[in-house]
Amino acid sequence: MIRVILPQHLRALAQVGAEVRLEVEGEITQCSILNALEVRYPMLRGTIRDQVTHARRPFVRFFACGEDLSHESPDASLPDMIASGAEPFWVVGAIAGG
C-alpha cells in the first residue's frame, strides 16, 4: 500500500483527508503512483502533471524520504521505504513570491 500526501487544495478537490492510500501494480515510480492516483481520483487529472505530456506542472514538487525527487526521472524506481508504505510520497505545491 502506497501512502500519498496531497496539498490542501488537491485534498479539497478530491474530497480526501491528508493521506491517500493506493494499490500500485508493478514497479513503484513517480509515474506509477500518479497513474494510480489519477485513476482513483479522476478529478486530479491535469492538476499535478500535464494530461498529454505527463510532465510535472510548474510549482508542484515531489518528495520522498526527505529528498526532492521533482527533477528525477518519473520512471525511476522509488526507495523501498515508499514501496513498503513506511514513508509517504509527498506532492507539494511550491510557493513563489518576491
Query: CATH number of the domain that 9 lies in?
Result: 3.10.20.30
Query: What's the mean pLDDT in 20-47?
Result: 96
Amino acid letter, 74: P
Domain that holds residue 49: 2-93
Strands 2-5 vs 89-93: parallel, antiparallel or unpaired:
parallel
For residue 77, being part of any structural domain is answered with yes
For 9, phi then psi, to 5°, come to: -65, -35
Indicate whether 98 pLDDT > 80. no
Q: What is the pLDDT of residues 35-80, one digit of tens each?
A: 999 999 999 999 999 999 989 998 899 999 999 999 999 999 999 9
pTM: 0.92
pLDDT given at position 69: 95
pLDDT given at position 97: 66
Radius of gyration (C-alpha) of the chain in whole angstroms: 12
Indicate whether 7 pLDDT > 80. yes
CA angle 69, 72, 75 (to 5 degrees): 110
Indicate whether 31 pLDDT > 80. yes
Decide: helix, strand or coil at residue 80.
Answer: helix
Q: What percent of the chain has pLDDT over 90?
A: 89
Number of domains forming the structure of the chain: 1
For residue 88, being part of any structural domain is answered with yes
For residue 98, being part of any structural domain is answered with no
pLDDT given at position 42: 97
Q: Which residue has the cell 511550491?
A: 94
**Residues 14 and 38 sit within 8 Å (Cβ to Cβ):** no
User: Which helix (H) or strand (E) element contains residue 31?
Assistant: helix 30-40
